Amino acid sequence: MIEAIELRRTYRTTTGVIRRRPLEVEAVRGITFGVEQGELFGLLGPNGAGKTTTIKMLITLLLPTAGSARVLGLDVVDDAREIRKRIGYVFGGDRGLYERLSALDNLRYFAELYGVSGKAQRRRIDEVLELVGLTGREQERVEGYSRGMRQRLHIARGILHDPEVVFLDEPTIGVDPVGARELRQTISDLVAAGKTVLLTTHYMFEADSLCDRIAVIAKGRIVGEGTPTELKAGVHAGRVTEIEAFGVDDAAVTRLKEIDGVTAVNVEERDQKQLLVVQTSGERELTAILLAELDGVEVGRVASREPTLEDAYVALVTAE
Amino acid sequence: MTRGLRVFWTGFVLHFKNLSASPFMMTTAAIWPLVYATLAFLMFRATHQAPSLLYAALGAAVMGIWSTTATSAGGAIQQQRWYGILEILVAAPTRLILVLAPITVAIAGIGIYSVCSTLLWGRLLFGVPLHVSHPLLFAVAIPAAVLSIGLLGLVLASTFVVYRSAQHLSQALEYPIWTITGMLIPLSLLPGWITPVAWALAPTWGMRAVRHAALGGDVGVPLLACLGLSAAYTLLAMLLLHHFERLARERATLSLT
């Protein structure tokens, strides 16, 4: 359904105020992946990794600088209009709707733009409102909607024309936990209805719970691909030790990284304290050695656990 | 109704409604032309150069339509970009002209408020007689003038899809277009070399059709010229948009970042 081969995208811009110099930014550096029919495929990566640029090339809003991509067997450069008829695109955030108008006005307009015939429009709008749980609120102006409601309206807009493939670009960003859970249910419903979905997100648990397969993208390259279970297993046969500490300096972190069996050390700043997430390979118990290297540092809670997808993700992204 | 006309009409109604819900837009559309009208009435009353005060009133009203279009058409495309809607509009399988033309024509349509407020202002403050020679033709000429201005706005707006700062260009054209199209000053008072330029501008003929319908004179020729040139603008905008859409996909200018 979706196929990207050595896809690249470079942005050309300028830098400097008086003497402007050309600047090239490589956002996507030759990525290759495929998505099967009915699959929910996740593109996981940090900000600026190239997720949105990849989606924009696939939905024909950006031309690739090199490589090729096909959606539903159609070329994203030459068959743009045909692809647009058969795909849906939803992005996260507050924007993308006519705020001063009602949800119904918005949906009617986009139904017209997506070629939903006059007779089918009312029925289809009712169906999508029901699917996203906005039935009864459609006459209200969008400016009065909560972020979660707007996001559900975005999804309704994106699937009005019953597309075969749906692209969801960080659809739960900024949505409260209850709203995000409802959105994830809506996304699951889309897949259950037979849609092929490409989802970008940086929420690990979201990717873990929703996606059939995931590609981890960092600095414009795919650094890992597989099912959530494969990714977790592929990165670790070991364990994760979390150490709460106060005032850890770079030298101490370097010492931890040099310990035999330590594969990665990630430092998360949490107010006055830091959380050291240490990934180790094999089954060897390293807690005592780790604490010895932190001699002189005030240490709080220490815990050891199984690796999660987030650990796999951090290991892949930081290894780049 | 064919699909194209239905898309245009639905888009026009939506954008007209959206713009009418903006207090800023409505205040500007209703009050701005009153300044032009007051200046025009005082000028013409002092010099007795124009056939009537109604001549000045209609000119000021159409100036209001053009001003709204020149300043807002580019702003509207930029606004779609700010709201994150431009990308969604371009990602739709509908031709871009059917997406953008309703926006610029709706903006020009907001100018109808200018016509009403200007004529009312003239009547109440300056005693302008509102007798119209051919009411039916006047009712046709006004929407034709609005359409021609909206489509001229579309030709300019097509550049905004790819050039984010292009709205300054259309704002710079606000005064020259008033002058060249005879909205404020009769064309006969301008240098001869300007006449061919004026004839190539649909609003010149739209203005003439409105004035002839109100004050007497041939309406058919200016009306047909106005509609013919408007059709030519549509074709030109189609070609430009086809080119600019590809350029925008290449240069990544559809979004803000």
Query: What distance in Å separates the CA atoms of residue B105 and residue B220, rounded to the nearest whole number?
Result: 22
Query: What distance in Å separates the CA atoms of residue B143 and residue B10, rounded to the nearest whole number?
Result: 17
Interface confidence (ipTM) of the complex: 0.79
Q: Hey, of B26, B249, B254, which one would you mutate to test binding to chain A, going by the most A CBs within 10 A of its CB?
A: B249
pLDDT at A40: 93
pLDDT tier, A237 (very low <50, low <70, confident <90, very high otherwise): low
pLDDT at B257: 53
User: What pairing do the DSSP bridges indicate for beta strands A273-280 and A262-270?
Assistant: antiparallel
pLDDT tier, A197 (very low <50, low <70, confident <90, very high otherwise): very high
Domain ranges of chain A: 2-226, 236-319
Nearest to A312 by CA among A129, A84, A45, A67: A45
Q: Note whether B206 and B228 are within 8 A (CB).
A: no
Query: What distance in Å separates the CA atoms of residue A278 and residue A237, rounded to the nearest whole number?
Result: 14
Put simply, the chain B residues between 2 and 31 with a CB less than 8 A from any chain A CB are 3, 6-7, 10-11, 14, 17-18, 21-22
| Cβ contacts of A56 on chain B, cutoff 8 Å | 87
Cα–Cα distances in angstroms (integers) from residue B150 to residues B61, B64, B137, B143, B185, in the given order: 15, 13, 20, 10, 22
- The residues, ordered by sequence, that sit 6+ positions from A146 with a Cβ below 8 Å of its Cβ are A179
Q: Hey, of B20, B82, B88, B161, which one would you mutate to test binding to chain A, going by the most A CBs within 10 A of its CB?
A: B88
pTM for the whole structure:
0.78
Please check whether residue B243 touches A, CB under 8 A: no
Average confidence score pLDDT of chain B: 82
**The CATH homologous superfamily of the domain defined by A236-319:** ACT domain (3.30.70.260)
Query: What distance in Å separates the CA atoms of residue B236 and residue B229, rounded to the nearest whole number?
Result: 10
**For B171-221, how does the pLDDT look when each residue is reduced to its tens digit (9 = 90+)?**
677 777 778 887 777 788 888 888 888 888 888 888 889 888 888 888 889
More confident residue, A316 or A63: A63
pLDDT tier, A84 (very low <50, low <70, confident <90, very high otherwise): very high
Please check whether residue B89 touches A, CB under 8 A: yes
Q: Where are the beta strands (DSSP E) in A16-117?
A: 21-35, 40-44, 66-71, 74-75, 87-91
**For B114-160, how does the pLDDT look when each residue is reduced to its tens digit (9 = 90+)?**
888 888 888 888 777 778 888 899 889 888 888 888 888 888 877 77
| Cβ contacts of A157 on chain B, cutoff 8 Å | 88
Cβ within 8 Å, pair B91-A89: yes
Q: Which of A63, A98, A112 sits opposite B7 (nearest CB)?
A: A112
pLDDT tier, B49 (very low <50, low <70, confident <90, very high otherwise): low
State the CATH architecture for A2-226. 3-Layer(aba) Sandwich (3.40)
pLDDT at A59: 92
